[in-house]
Every structure is written in structure tokens, then in C-alpha cells.
Amino acid sequence: MIAAHLPVLVVLLPLFGGLLAALSRHNEAAFWIALVASIATLAAAAALAGQVMAGGPISYRIGGWDPALGIEYRIDAVSAPILLLVAAMGVAAIVYARRSVTVEIIPERVAWYYTMMLICLAGLLGMAASGDAFNIFVFLEISSLSTYTLIALGRDRRALLAAYQYLIVGTIGATFYVIGVGLLYLSTGTLNFGLIVERLPEITSPRALIAAEAFIVVGIALKLALFPLHAWLPNAYAYAPSSATALLASTATKVAVYLLARYLFAVFGIQRSVGPISVADALMALSLLAMFAASLAAIFQNDIKRLLAFSSVAQIGYITLGLAIANEAGVTGAFLHIMNHALMKGAAFMAIGAILISAGSSKLDELAGIGRTMPVAAGALTVAGLALIGVPGTSGFVSKWYLVLGAIEAGRLWLAILIVASSVLAVLYVGRILEVIWFREPAKRSLEAQAVPLSLLAPTLVLAALTIWFGLDAGFPVELASSAAKALLGVSKGALP
């Protein structure tokens, strides 16, 4: 009985959990509510993934209404891994938050903080579960609004400015998206993805659709921080509370990438030309710019959180590049990197969060020799850093393998060389961190750093361990990613003329 309603439960569990946490008004109770809700969500997502892998896509009609009128939730090989990832990272971030909020959040706001985390999760999961373009807009706004709050709850005053900056940009993005959806509705008369795809061949004048595509892609690109629309991200990640940064970095941009893939492959067709260049070529150019420009920017950051944020922009470039390569290996690489990057960046932000809580700084020059006083957190940061480079034995290597393989199979050796060349920039920014934290004489702050509690380190270590595990035995993520790639490419028959 419950199994039949899983597609909607995966969204409702965190949504109602958030409501309960808000009503509880009690920090400890809110934590347990959040933990139970997020674990239940993870169980639902895992069950859904199992069902999809075994029996193909699941369609769920809200209230039993026909998709033409009502809202359809559709879980398939593309969305199932995203749901699983978001739900899993939600659990990790909430476990981590238990201790980090005591330092980073004013006590009266802790219950609200958990509420916002759960509502943000509900929004992100809804974006992945829903098969309705407008319903996705609603969830996009739910996740964005809760994200602004999460960022603004940071103790640093600059967090307010960062949240405000993101609020403006995010609102513009959402507006673009909803205008695009409106145009799409005008052309096709439906909001359901499946029906849109069915009706597209009947459209005689594609001009409105081209406008719809432009608005939708730009709207999503803002949310996923696609270069050059990434300016909001570094501040938001740097000044948000540590657990919020870990959650956002590993889920929010990833869901947006998923949405981009959905629209480009299933609706608009990625190989279609707009003017002289194809969508894929444009996306490839922007991805390469992201990989190089953001990595270069990362090299010159002093605040490790900001450095990791710029690295995120670059790593998102890898993911969108994989989509732009648009063959099976490339898209598999993109989906693999969605998952692998979430794990490694989650571990990195959690590790630097633990260091920030203990040593009181995330500035590189003040953390010299921190590896000696906080070996576990520094070790997790090291593992995550090696994965960002793509050292073999870490999950980052596997993603890169598929991306480069995709480039070579597409007959573009130059692209393969560019992909690996940009990871040398990662050697530079990761190398700087590692040199300072391990090889310098300890600075004052490093010597005064206190040991951090296990509840902070446990989720950090689990993510770091998974980063290595999926670097040595990647069977599970590769299976998820390649099913997603096959599903996307299977429907990518160029829906538009």
C-alpha cells in the first residue's frame, strides 16, 4: 500500500517533517524529527531506485487526475539516482548539523534551521520527482526560498549580503524559468513533460519554443551556477553555516543539472542548432570556460570555503561538459560526477567546517600545520582534494575516465586533453591546501584547535570513505549513471525540427 505512494512520500516526508520541526520549537526535538524524517526519506528514495532499476519508470498521478489536467510524478532511471543522492546527503548534513549548529546558529533559531533544511530537501526532491513543468517551478521556489534562509542564518554578517545576492539572482532565475514554462504551455497546451514531448512534432512555428528554451535554460543555468552565471555561489557557500554549505554544494546545483539534462535531452534536443552553433557546442564552450576560469580563480583564494566554492563552479563545468558531449560515455560521466562530486565536496565542506568550528578560521594562512592537531578532519579534506584532482583510487578518477572516454569516442582528442589539463589546475589549488595544512609549521590557531566531536566527524568520514570506495569499486554508481545516460539518450531523438 505504502509502496504505491512512494513517489509522493519522498517529497511529503521532509515537507511534513519540516512542519513538525517548526511546531516543536525545541532544538533537540527538532533535530530528532529532522533525522527521522530524512532517514525515512532516504528509505523511500532507495526503495524507489530499487523499483525503477527492477521494473522501469514509475508514474504516479496526484489525486488520480489524468496527467493532462493533474500533476504526474514520474520516477525513472534519470531521476531515481538524483532522489537517492539528495536524500542521502540530507541525512549526512542533518547528522552533521547536530553539533555544528550549536556553534554556528543562535540557539533560538536552531529549530527553524532544521525546518529550513527539511523544506529545502522537500523542494529539491520535488524538482526531481515531478513530471510537471509548473510543479517543478513551485518546488524550485520552495528550495530557493529555504536556501536563502539557510544562508542568512550564518553568524557572519556577510551571510546576510550573500543571501540577499542569491535572493536577487535566484528570483531572476525563477522568473526566467516560469516565463519559459509559460511559453511552452502556450505552444503545447500542457505542462506535463510526457505530453509536451508528444505534442512537439505538431508545432509548425518553433519560434515560441526557441524563446521558451532560452528562458528555461538561462533560468536553470542561474540555479546551477553555470559559468558565467555563477557569481552568487562563492559568497553563498563561504558564509552559510557549514552544514548548509555541505547540503547545498552536494544537492542544489546537482538537481538543477538534472533538470537541465531533462529539458535539453527530452524536450528541446541537445544537438539542435540555434543559428550557427548547436546547443551542445554552446554548452561545451561554457563548460570549458567554467573548468578553466573557476579553477584559476580557486587557485588565488585564501579562504578555503571560497576556494572550494570556486572549485564547485569548475566541477559543475565537468558535469555540463559530459552532457554536452552527449554520447553514452559522456553522459554517464556527467551523472557519475553529479554523485561523486556531491560526495567529495560534501566531505570537503564538512571537513573544513569542522576545522572552522574548532580552530575558528577557514583562512588558509591561519591554518598552517592544522594536520598535526586535527589529523582526521585534515585527512578527510585530503581525500576529498585528491578526488577533486581525479587521482586514481578516488571516485573523481572514475568520473573523469568516462568523460575523457566520451570525448575520445566523439573523436575529439583535443577535448580529452583539455579535460585532463584542467585537472592540473585542481592539482594547484588542492596542492596549496595540502602543502599548508600538512607541511608548514603549525600556526597559533592550529595549535589551539580543540578536538571535534564524533558526530561532526562521522558523516565527514563516511563521505570520504565512500569517495575512496567508489574509486575502487564503482559498479553501483556506474550502473546508476549509465542507466540514466541510456534513458536520456534513448529519448533524445531531437524533439524539435
Partner 1 sequence: MTGMLLSGEASLALALVIPALAALAIIALARHPNLREAATLVAALALFIVVVDLLTGVLAGARPALELAHLAPGLSIALHVDPLGMLFTAIAATLWVANSVYSIGYMRGNDEPRQTTFYACFAIAIFATMGLALAGNLLTLFLFYEILSLSTYPLVTLKRSREAMRAGRIYLLTLIGASMILLLPAIIWTYAISGTLDFAPGGFLAGRVGPEAMAVLLGLYVFGAAKAAVMPLHRWLPNAMVAPTPVSALLHAVAVVKAGVFTILKVVVSVFGIETLQTTGSSAWLVYVAGFTIIAASFVALSADDLKRRLAYSTVSQLSYIVMAAALATPLAVIGAALHIAAHAVSKITLFFAAGSVYTAEHVTKVSAMDGIGRRMPWTMAAFTIGALSMIGLPPTAGFLGKWFMLGAAGGAANWFAVGVIIVSTVLNAAYFLPIIFRAFMKPANGPVREAPLAMVVALTATAAGTILLFLLPDIPLRLARAMVGV
As measured in angstroms, the least distance from the Cβ of 424 to partner 1 is 5
Q: How many residues does the chain have?
A: 497
Q: Which is nearer to partner 1, 33 or 404 (CB)?
A: 404
Q: Which is nearer to partner 1, 209 or 391 (CB)?
A: 391
Q: Which is nearer to partner 1, 23 or 421 (CB)?
A: 421
Q: Which is nearer to partner 1, 258 or 401 (CB)?
A: 401
Extract the C-alpha cell encoding 50. 530499487
Extract the C-alpha cell encoding 133. 513543468
Extract the C-alpha cell encoding 390. 581525479
Extract the C-alpha cell encoding 89. 546527503
As measured in angstroms, the least distance from the Cβ of 418 to partner 1 is 9
As measured in angstroms, the least distance from the Cβ of 484 to partner 1 is 15
As measured in angstroms, the least distance from the Cβ of 260 to partner 1 is 25
As measured in angstroms, the least distance from the Cβ of 113 to partner 1 is 39
Q: Which is nearer to partner 1, 201 or 475 (CB)?
A: 475
As measured in angstroms, the least distance from the Cβ of 321 to partner 1 is 15
Which residue's entry shows cell 607541511?
Answer: 439
DSSP-derived 3-state class of residue 58:
strand
Q: Which is nearer to partner 1, 357 or 405 (CB)?
A: 405
Which residue from 229, 284, 285 is spatially nearest to 256, judged by alpha carbons?
229
Q: Which is nearer to partner 1, 420 or 451 (CB)?
A: 420
Q: Which is nearer to partner 1, 189 or 431 (CB)?
A: 431
As measured in angstroms, the least distance from the Cβ of 304 to partner 1 is 19
| Measured torsion, CA atoms of residues 344, 340, 100, 108, in degrees rounded to the nearest 10 | 150
- Applying CB under 8 A, which residues contact partner 1? 386, 389-393, 398, 400-401, 404-405, 408-409, 413, 416-417, 420-421, 423-424, 427-428, 431, 435, 438-439, 472-475, 478
CB contact at 8 A, 447 and 440? no
Q: Which is nearer to partner 1, 22 or 418 (CB)?
A: 418
How many angstroms separate the Cα of 59 from the Cα of each of 21, 62, 192, 489?
A: 30, 10, 12, 20
As measured in angstroms, the least distance from the Cβ of 488 to partner 1 is 19
* 183 alpha carbon, distance to own chain's centre: 27
**Sign of the four-CA dihedral 66, 72, 76, 80:** negative
* 255 alpha carbon, distance to own chain's centre: 5
Q: How many angstroms separate the CA atoms of 300 and 290, rounded?
A: 15
Q: Which is nearer to partner 1, 7 or 390 (CB)?
A: 390
How many angstroms separate the Cα of 78 from the Cα of each of 15, 18, 51?
A: 23, 27, 13
How many angstroms separate the Cα of 98 from the Cα of each of 37, 114, 368?
A: 15, 9, 28
As measured in angstroms, the least distance from the Cβ of 325 to partner 1 is 13
Q: Which is nearer to partner 1, 175 or 327 (CB)?
A: 327
As measured in angstroms, the least distance from the Cβ of 112 to partner 1 is 43
Which residue from 86, 96, 93 is spatially nearest to 42, judged by alpha carbons?
86
As measured in angstroms, the least distance from the Cβ of 81 to partner 1 is 15
As measured in angstroms, the least distance from the Cβ of 423 to partner 1 is 5
Q: How many angstroms separate the CA atoms of 339 and 347, rounded?
A: 12
Biggest CA pair distance of the chain: 70
| Helix axes of 232-239 and 158-188: crossing angle, nearest 10 degrees | 130
β-pair partners for 73: 60, 130
Q: Which is nearer to partner 1, 148 or 401 (CB)?
A: 401
Q: How many angstroms separate the CA atoms of 485 and 80, rounded?
A: 12
Q: How many angstroms separate the CA atoms of 473 and 362, rounded?
A: 33
DSSP annotation of 97 reads H
Type of residue numbered 57: P
